[in-house]
Structure 1
Amino acid sequence: MAKSFNTVGRAFMARIIDPLGRFLVRVGVTPNAVTVIGTLGVITGSVALVARGYLLSGLVVVTLSACTDMVDGAMARVKGVTNRFGAYLDSTMDRIADGAIFGSVAFWLLSEGQERAAAAALLCLVAAQVVSYAKARAESLGADCSVGIAERPERLLIIAVGTLLAGLGVPYALEVVLWLLAALSVVTVVQRVLHVREQLVGESVGRVEKER
């Protein structure tokens, strides 16, 4: 279901993003520049707005900045090239952006005396990094790790909904959403570990049997 949602959502957004990507390529902007600018926008919106309690305006800035993650991909498609450094940079900037978002939410919650919700935000922060690391490490070992119910698009969507509800004054909405997201992220980590374990342990057993 998540895969279907992502596929439909990305196809819809491509109709909007691709023309912008073509324009930026024509004027000489590089995909890597867009990646860095988008990350700086996320950091600015998170630290300068969300961390200070301006949740709705911060949400707008962070959301618009996060959309550059699709723009740089559209630009790469237009140029018809695969840039390994670009992929590395994009992944690294995603980790920085995630840290800024969840760190700022946790900071604001602590300043408001909401320790339980802040703890959930910190757990989301750690789990998000582990989810991404688990996939990167698995792929470096030659294993497939494209599984999990809470990948990055889902995590960003969920925290955006929670922030929106909190900004509109819905009580306990952000705390509930954060604990839900924390649980989903932990489940995703477990899913990935088990998925990779099945591949790598099976590979080791097969090698031993072959050597015999």
Structure 2
Amino acid sequence: MTLDSLRSKFVVVTEPFVNLFDGLHISANTVSIASLAFAALAGIAYYFSAGNPAILAAALLLVLLNGFFDGLDGAIARKNGTASKYGDFLDHVIDRYADVFMICGIFLGGYLRSDLGAMVIVGVLLASYLGTQAQAVGVGRVYGGIMGRADRMILIIVATCLQLVYPTEVGAYGIQFTILGWALLIIGVLSHVTAFQRIWYTRKQLLSGENGKKN
């Protein structure tokens, strides 16, 4: 399901901006830091947005800017020949902080109970950690699984649009949450599923490698 594998399809959209930023000598790391700033501002906007459609619309715009700038930094680095291990490391660190800012902003803003919000952020961080831990043990960076970062971003964007149109809680059988709350729950559950998928994949790769050495 993950949309991360489709990033290469959006080159036609991002390439003009990559050329523009490169021409202005704006570094990939600067773009990464700008994406983090947009994420932090989005989190703040979500926190104060309950009952205020204008602030919620601002949060939506900031999430879109975060996603757009996050998709530019790597392309800029590759274009101007500045791609590096540090840049890759910084990009992953910024992505995790961005996840925390936006998700915490949503549930602390009252769109979902804090205990459920904690479950969501733990799932997101665990799934991301396991993807990089697989690389640390020699399997390579693991992006697979049902809920990648691009999937999370799309869900948050769509849910925010729907929240603007229909701010009332929805549900059945006495279970009621806002649309943004339901989106976070989906992200949380599927992030934990993704974590187990990455554990299973890494285990399979490591054991097959060990068996190959024995043979």
TM more than 0.5: yes
Q: More helix per residue: 1 or 2? A: 1
**Length-normalised TM-score, structure 2:** 0.84
Cα distance in 2 for residues equivalent to 1:88 and 1:147 = 19
**Structure 1 contact 143–199 (Cα < 8 Å) conserved:** yes
**Structure 1 contact 35–90 (Cα < 8 Å) conserved:** yes
Cα distance, 1:6 vs structure 2:
4.2
Matched, 1:83 2:84: yes
Cα distance, 1:51 vs structure 2:
0.6
Cα distance in 2 for residues equivalent to 1:27 and 1:174 = 38
Cα distance in 1 for residues equivalent to 2:77 and 2:83 = 7
Partner of 1:167: 164
Partner of 1:129: 125
Partner of 1:140: 136
Cα distance, 1:65 vs structure 2:
2.4
Structure 1 segment 1-212 matched on structure 2, within 5 A: 1-2=1-2, 6-7=5-6, 10-11=8-9, 13-47=10-44, 49-53=45-49, 54-109=55-110, 114-115=112-113, 118-144=114-140, 145-168=142-165, 169-172=167-170, 173-207=179-213, 209-210=214-215
**Structure 2 contact 2–148 (Cα < 8 Å) conserved:** no
Residues 86-119 of structure 1 deviation map (CA, whole Å, 9 limit, x = unaligned): 111111100010000011011111xx7x52xx43
Any stretches of 5+ residues in structure 1 without a counterpart? none
Amino acid in structure 2 at the alignment position of 1:132 = S
Cα distance in 1 for residues equivalent to 2:24 and 2:182 = 45
Aligned length, in residue pairs: 200
What is the RMSD of the two structures over their aligned residues, measured on CA atoms? 2.0
SS state at 2:71 partner: helix
More moved, 130-139 vs 73-82? 73-82
Cα distance, 1:201 vs structure 2:
2.6
Cα distance in 2 for residues equivalent to 1:61 and 1:14 = 21
Residues 5-46 of structure 1 deviation map (CA, whole Å, 9 limit, x = unaligned): 842x642x3222111111111111111011001111110121
SS state at 2:26 partner: coil
Amino acid in structure 2 at the alignment position of 1:179 = L
Any stretches of 5+ residues in structure 2 without a counterpart? 50-54, 171-178
| Percent identity between the two aligned chains | 23
SS state at 2:169 partner: coil
